[in-house]
Structure 1
Amino acid sequence: MSMNILRPSIVLLFTLVLRPAVAQAEGDVARGEKLFARCSACHSTDGTRKIGPTLAGVVGRTAATIGNARFSKALIESEIIWTEETLEEYLSEPKKLVPGTTMVTRIPDLQDRKDVISYLKTLY
């Protein structure tokens, strides 16, 4: 069999095999919004201050820099910029990334974290 005949088949096979992995890596915004309900006891998405800071515009922001919120000394000194990666690590184990943080709630499931982060990315 000619290699030219195999190439399109190989490309199609890789596309079909890899596509679910790529889609899963992104996270589900709608599911993330539903999961965020457990975060909404402390965090708003509209700029309103609750126990914790608003998470509107959190992605790309330096930790502990939004006004009208109280932050732990540890978070202030962390100088973390909230990217998908740092949010994933923080939501996995806040006290591991920032020893001394006051945030105690974690999201142990990786897909749940990805979904919540995908939702957070939509907030401005």
Structure 2
Amino acid sequence: MQRSPVRGFVSALPLLIAVGLVPGSVWAQGVPPSSAGATLFESKCLACHSLEANRIGPMLRGVVGRKVASAAGYEYSDALRRVKGQWDAARLEKWLQDPQSVAAGTRMAFSLPSAAERKAVIQYLASTGATGR
């Protein structure tokens, strides 16, 4: 049985969008990664997080370089409070791919399967700094 070219394109569409090869994708429009990350943050993360305030999840401004489970005023799960160290790009990469692999029992159920999207979001979060922009 021969595979349909349309079916092959449809199954590859998420990857093509992630790398910006589909017209209309953020990177295909020449938007720099931090802007692509901002767009992704708005569409994927804002339901639970904000840069400036704790919501369902903790505020994320300044998360890169911040001690794990340390946003003032946020009630973290026991699982996340047991994690030592800081949020760096490598740890955030693992967290966004599979939060349970970083802190088994954490309340965060969301994951971001696309490596390109994870990278863009992490770059964006790193660009926000600790004090605001």
TM value normalised by structure 1: 0.75
Q: CA deviation at 1:80?
A: 3.5
Kindly provide the CA deviation profile for residues 2-36 of structure 1, in whole angstroms up to 9, marking residues without a partner as x: xxxxxxxxxxxxxxxxxxxxxxxxx8111110000
Aligned residues: 97
Displacement of 1:105: 0.5
Structure 1, residues 62-95: CA drift from partner, whole Å, max 9, x if none?
1111111111101001114100000001100001
Q: Distance in 1 between matches of 2:85 and 2:36?
A: 26
Identity of aligned residues (%): 37
Matches within 5 A, 1:16-95: 28-37=33-42, 38-46=44-52, 48-95=53-100
Structure 2 length as normaliser, TM-score?
A: 0.70
- Any idea what SS the aligned residue of 1:121 has? helix
Letter in 2 for 1:62: K
User: Structure 2 vs 1, CA of residues 80 and 103 (structure 1 numbering), >3 Å: closer, same or farther?
Assistant: farther
Q: Following the alignment from structure 2 to structure 1, what is the Cα–Cα distance between the partners of residues 67 and 106?
A: 15
Runs of 4+ in 1 over 2 A off after TM superposition: none
Pair 1:99-2:92 in alignment: no
Once residues 100 and 56 of structure 2 are traced to their aligned partners in structure 1, the CA distance between those partners, rounded to angstroms, is 18
- Structure 1 unaligned segments of length 5 or more: list them: 1-26
SS at match of 1:122: helix
In proportion to residue count, which structure has more helix?
1
**Greater C-alpha radius of gyration:** 1
Whole-Å Cα distance in 1 between the matches of residues 68 and 76 of structure 2? 9
Q: RCO (CA 8 Å, sep 6+): is it higher in 1 or 2? A: 1
Cα distance in 2 between the residues matched to 1:120 and 1:51: 18
Partner SS state of residue 82, structure 2: helix
Question: Could you tell me whether the CA contact under 8 Å between 1:94 and 1:106 is conserved in 2?
Answer: yes
CA distance in 2, matches of 1:108, 1:73: 25
Displacement of 1:41 in angstroms is 1.1
Tell me, in whole angstroms, the C-alpha distance in 1 between the residues paired with 2:48 and 2:75.
Answer: 12
Unaligned runs of 5+ in 2: 1-31
1:6 paired residue number: none
